[in-house]
Amino acid sequence: MRVVPSVLESVTVHAEGALCTRAFVLSPENGHLPGQVRIDGLPLALRTGSLRARVVEGPPELLVRDLKPTFDVRMPPESELPAEQHALEAAEASLAAVHGRLERVRSEIAALRGLAPTWPAQRKGHPPREAPLTAMLSLTGFVDAELAELQAQELDLARQHRDATNELELRRRRVQELSSARSVDRARLFRAALLTLSGPIAATADARLVLEYAVAGARWVPTYDLRLPRTLVEGTLRMRAAVVQRTGEDWTGVRLAVSTASLERRAEVPELKSLRIGRSQPPPARSGWREPAPGLEELFAGYDALRVPRPEPVPQKPQPPPMPAPEMAKGAYEQEELYKESASFGGPPGAPPSVSAPPPPMAAPKASGAFLGGARPSAPSRNVPSAAPAPSMPPPRGGGGMDRMRSKKRAVSEDDFDDAPMADMLMDEEEGGAGDEHRSAAGLEPAEGLFDYDSLTLASAASPGQRGRLRPRSALVSQAMLSITSVSLQVEVVRLEAQAFVIAESVSSVAPPSWAVPPRESARHFDARFDAEAVADVPSDGAWHTVPMLTVPLELKAEYVCVPSVEPRVFRTVRLDNASQHPLLAGPVDVTLGDEFLMTSPMPTLGPGETQRLGLGVEEALQVARNTRFDEASGGMFGNSTVLTHHVSVEVANHLSRAANIAISERISAVPESQKDIKVEESEVVPPWQKPTPLPGEEAVEGERVWRVSVPAGEKRSMKATWVVKLPASKMLNGGNRRT
């Protein structure tokens, strides 16, 4: 099998997860393309069910017949390990050495402290002994001197131990900050793909194929960059994608695309049910198997013709056993039992074990049997002997012959079990092919094990009644191999694979940028895809990386907005008209005014052809002053009504170097339809008010009036309005009449 190197060409980051595309080239050897290739170096976070492969360039006969995932273990050399790993190992060795010396010094200090002079024991009836003061003083001085030196060493080693511990913690953090694609393990585990092609095919040119797979551990959110001139006349909006990934492989020089679609959502054409006229019948149950093709046994006619039949031995007429002597009674009894056991193996009753009866003719299975185990296939009985005759041997004598016969019986049984299907697949011999018809008529579904296609194997042509059919592998062999050779390996592989998925899923806990909105929440009812204008690099380090995507043509219209009754300051706004075919999803936008960064503002979702207002902060060069006056009087013929007169005057001063268009909003008293005895009359408005036009996403305010004026640079403009509210004397406005 040829191992072909591949290159990661493109990556499409979805709302959660990513779809990667690798390309590789097959070169012909000896004028033929290989029949099987292997692609190594795939990440562990790969979803095995997402593997796809296709031929992009090559001979028309070249097709991908099969694709299977597997594992790839690599032992990298020392030069390929990152420098941080070498530094970590050096720090661990240094800490271990310092710790060993420190423990040794502390043990010596503890031993020295145990060297203390002891007074001799006083014997009863004798005077106290004279103490050796000189020796005791010498010992005390020796202990003090050695302790002083060792304690100085202990202080120095404790400082080195503390420094080595800090260095080790630093190196561990550096290793944790590495990209997950740069594994620091001595043995690295990867995913691999085995491709079976329709080859070998004669070819003279190279063939190009691509391999697609989905990985977990990738996210993206949209961000924007808006650059405006000081005049706010025109500008440029660039869409960027903030991407974070921990997939286990670095994306270097790839064509990056982002999509709002979900990889978990299935998009398949629905299967429409047919409409039938007649009596209602239950729908047929769907099954995972199909009937075998007609003439399945004829496919093996050539194999049967080439098989050379072995000569069958001529059955020998059994001789009656001689009358045993009294001392041979036990041996004769064992020989008689041996004859009975030979009959159970298919031989004629009473035949010696050296003779094997010819096998009975095997009936050809009918075509109604299930190809993938739709009805449990018929299996030969374990009592049917092998087609090859047993070699001739003299009649056994005594207990030794019995043991040999029993061992032969055990061997035949185990061999027969290994070649036969699973235990739940067996059928009685007398059912024959009729069992398939009976089970098919009964509508029985196949066993659960027959739907695990990876564990099925094709029976050999020498298996009577099973050849050409899929059947499960022997359970004894698989369990023995699992228990003997691969338990520890599979446990380690499962642990590493689970660890890779845990690392990949950790990107969901990474805090997004400020004002960022997940694309699934702002995409509305449609999915969109955006392609980057150039190749990009996104390392697998779990940090956010900004990738420029595209430049959006916009029609900008600057406008200053002020509501002096609420806030006297003037705010800059820009009306964005999306003239492109791409929807602009909600996200943060970095606004740059001239050469100065202004602010970061949240931008709502802007569909194609829609218009939104974007706030840009306060404009200090525009000043607004508002003055009000209120008059209350009695009106009506009999003074049974109250007349409330409101006078509002607004003055705007423009200190900019250019003219400014300002929208000043006021609100007059709103009268509900149920209160027909209350009237609001506008008596004087200079200049005239204009009808407010709220943009999509903005709520209309009841009773709102707007002045739209253009103030030249360095000049002032004044506006005034008067309106009268007439209401019965028994009523008053909510919040009081004086509320202007």
Nearest to 541 by CA among 19, 88, 84, 181: 181
Model confidence, pTM: 0.58
Question: In terms of residue numbers, what domain contains 610?
Answer: 554-728
Q: What percent of the chain stands above pLDDT 70?
A: 70
How far CA 683 is from CA of 96, 317, 645, 646, 669, in Å, comes to 92, 136, 10, 10, 14
Give the torsion sign (CA, 71, 77, 78, 82).
negative
Give the contacts of 323 (CB within 8 A, at least 6 positions apart): none
Beta strand 32-33 with 36-42: parallel, antiparallel or unpaired?
unpaired
Peptide bond into 421 cis (omega under 30): no
Beta strand 7-13 with 251-259: parallel, antiparallel or unpaired?
parallel
- The token pair that represents 727 in the structure block: 């209401």
Residues 466 and 558 in one domain: no
How far CA 449 is from CA of 443, 456, 634, in Å, comes to 18, 9, 95
Roughly how many angstroms between the first and final C-alpha of the chain, as a whole number?
Answer: 87
Q: What's the rounded Cα separation, in Å, for the pair 401 and 403?
A: 5
Residues 243 and 52 sit within 8 Å (Cβ to Cβ) = no
- 687 inside domain: yes
Residues 179 and 85 sit within 8 Å (Cβ to Cβ) = no
Average pLDDT over residues 124-132: 78
The residue whose two tokens read 């085995």 is 194
Mean pLDDT of the chain: 75
Residues 717 and 622 sit within 8 Å (Cβ to Cβ) = no
Residues 568 and 452 in one domain: no
Residues 289 and 446 sit within 8 Å (Cβ to Cβ) = yes
Instruction: Return the pLDDT at 161.
Output: 92
What's the number of domains the chain is made of?
A: 3
Taking only Cα atoms into account, the Rg of the chain, rounded to an integer number of angstroms, comes to: 46
Helix/strand/coil for 510: coil
Residues 722 and 632 in one domain: yes
Q: What's the rounded Cα separation, in Å, for the pair 737 and 725?
A: 10
- 561 inside domain: yes
Q: What's the rounded Cα separation, in Å, for the pair 548 and 531?
A: 10
DSSP H or E run through 601: strand 596-603
Residues 693 and 586 in one domain: yes
Average pLDDT over residues 111-128: 79
- The token pair that represents 248 in the structure block: 């286990």
- 669 inside domain: yes
Residues 628 and 716 in one domain: yes
Q: What's the rounded Cα separation, in Å, for the pair 463 and 233?
A: 85
Q: What's the rounded Cα separation, in Å, for the pair 736 and 370?
A: 89
Residues 605 and 584 sit within 8 Å (Cβ to Cβ) = yes
- 206 inside domain: no
In the predicted structure, residue 611 carries a pLDDT above the cut 80: yes
In the predicted structure, residue 402 carries a pLDDT above the cut 50: no
Helix/strand/coil for 662: strand
Residues 464 and 559 in one domain: no
Residues 589 and 690 sit within 8 Å (Cβ to Cβ) = no
DSSP assignment of 677-721: T-EEEEEEEESPPB---PPTTPPPPTTEEEEEEEE-TT-EEEEEE
- The token pair that represents 673 in the structure block: 């339809």
DSSP assignment of 526-588: S--EEE-SS-EEE-SSSS-EEEEEEEEPEEEEEEEEEETTTEEEEEEEEEEEE-SSS-B-SEE
pLDDT digits (tens, 9 = 90+) for 473-513: 665 444 444 444 444 555 566 666 777 777 778 888 888 88
Alpha helix (H) ranges present in 278-433? Answer: 301-306, 329-344, 398-419
DSSP assignment of 31-42: TEE-SEEEEEEE
Residues 556 and 600 sit within 8 Å (Cβ to Cβ) = no
More confident residue, 710 or 337: 710
Nearest to 39 by CA among 3, 78, 12, 91: 3
How sure is the predictor about 537, in pLDDT bands with cuts at 50, 70 and 90?
Answer: very high
More confident residue, 321 or 282: 282
- 133 inside domain: no
Q: What's the rounded Cα separation, in Å, for the pair 361 and 341?
A: 23
Residues 458 and 559 in one domain: no
Average pLDDT over residues 641-645: 83
Q: Given 460, 477, 494, which residue is the final one in a domain?
A: 477
Q: What's the rounded Cα separation, in Å, for the pair 702 and 696?
A: 17
- 652 inside domain: yes
Residues 709 and 612 in one domain: yes
Residues 463 and 560 in one domain: no
Q: Given 437, 459, 477, which residue is the final one in a domain?
A: 477
Q: In b/e form, how buried is each residue of 246-272, taking b as 16+ CB within 10 angstroms?
A: bbbbbbeebbbbbbbbebeeeeeeeee
- 626 inside domain: yes
pLDDT digits (tens, 9 = 90+) for 233-280: 778 899 999 999 988 889 999 999 999 998 887 777 777 877 778 887
Other Cβ atoms closer than 10 A to 524: 12
Residues 436 and 560 in one domain: no
Q: In b/e form, how buried is each residue of 438-456, taking b as 16+ CB within 10 angstroms?
A: ebeeeeebbeebbeeeeeb
Considering 123-132, 624-633, 721-730, the range whose residues carry the highest mean pLDDT is 624-633
Burial (0-12, 13-18, 19+ Cβ within 10 Å), 109: middle
The residue whose two tokens read 């000081």 is 230
Considering 207-216, 314-323, 477-486, 687-696, the range whose residues carry the highest mean pLDDT is 207-216
Q: In b/e form, how buried is each residue of 609-627, taking b as 16+ CB within 10 angstroms?
A: ebebbbebeebeebbbebe
Nearest to 452 by CA among 427, 424, 472, 480: 472
Lowest mean pLDDT among 25-39, 407-421, 446-460: 407-421
Give the contacts of 391 (CB within 8 A, at least 6 positions apart): none
Helix/strand/coil for 663: strand
Residues 471 and 603 in one domain: no
Residues 723 and 585 in one domain: yes
How sure is the predictor about 290, in pLDDT bands with cuts at 50, 70 and 90?
Answer: low
pLDDT digits (tens, 9 = 90+) for 65-101: 999 998 887 766 655 556 777 788 888 889 999 999 9
- The token pair that represents 46 in the structure block: 């790969």
Other Cβ atoms closer than 10 A to 704: 16
Q: Given 417, 444, 477, which residue is the final one in a domain?
A: 477
- 196 inside domain: no
pLDDT digits (tens, 9 = 90+) for 328-372: 444 444 444 434 444 444 444 444 443 334 444 444 333 333 333
- The token pair that represents 105 in the structure block: 């010094």
